[in-house]
Structure 1
């Protein structure tokens, strides 16, 4: 079993003992998503820590999107709960890059891609191939893509 998954299970046990309903419900759903991912496909497998991290990232993103939808629908209590669950999941994710750190990584990647002959907006794919491994798990794809587009346009 991966260390991140076992940490989630240990935290779930502690949350249940402490009668922390929010934490236990959130961790149950996340562990359920991890189990589903392990059994999806042709044969069962054990996820690596990186794969577990991707599942947690996806679950946190779902919470953010649900909170926005609840806000638009005028359901403030539900939105607040979704945000709380998202914040709880964020504890298990790597620290997100600041806008300045992301801009610096993208600027270096754009320079590298242009040195390799990539030009204009068509360089987007080349730049993303360079940037993605450097920011994996520390910045959302949409945020990265927006910064790359901004750099290539300017």
Structure 2
């Protein structure tokens, strides 16, 4: 079942249950997926493209969450927390810190990275491996820690 089919099913379920938050999030993500499909001139998106869009949506909400927390907007923080939890349901299972550290170690060895100057090489090699399964900023921190 594709992501779009899963979202359509979940959208129907949310309508029946009158779950407005979930319904709104699903509609926003579906719109993003459809906009990307139109922009790329395709009939359907690949699973990787869908994951990219989901990750982008999640990142936007996490960034907004930090802004709202620092501004003391607790009313908006609650709704964003709900949206983030709903989006995470559609992403693949997230990697643990131990799994990420192992991937970072092996990738550093693969690209023969030795200093912070090589962070770009390491990050560009890691990101396709962990697409949708880990947060880029978390990976960046692990790579910096390993390269010190």
Over 6 Å off, 4+ runs:
none
In structure 2, do the counterparts of structure 1 residues 66 and 111 end up closer, same or farther at CA, with 3 Å as the change threshold? same
Q: Which runs of 5+ in 2 are unaligned?
A: none
In our comparison, the structure showing a higher alpha carbon Rg is: 1
1:1-154 paired onto structure 2 within 5 Å: 3-41=2-40, 43-114=41-112, 118-153=113-148
> Is contact 1:56–1:93 with CA below 8 Å preserved after alignment?
yes
User: In 1, distance between residues paired with 2:123 and 2:90?
Assistant: 25
Q: How far apart are the structure 2 equivalents of 1:134 and 1:40?
A: 25
Q: Which 10-residue stretch deviates more, 60-69 or 5-14?
A: 60-69
Q: Number of paired residues?
A: 148
Alignment check: 8 A CA contact 1:93 1:137 kept: yes
- Asked if structure 1 preserves the Cα contact closer than 8 Å seen for 2:92 and 2:133, the reply is yes
Distance in 1 between residues matched to 2:33 and 2:14, nearest whole Å: 18
Gaps of 5+ in 1: none
Change (3 A) 1:125 1:74: closer
- 1:18-38 per-position Cα deviation (integer Å, ceiling 9, x unaligned): 111111011011111111111
Alpha-carbon distance in structure 2 between the residues aligned to 1:110 and 1:3: 34
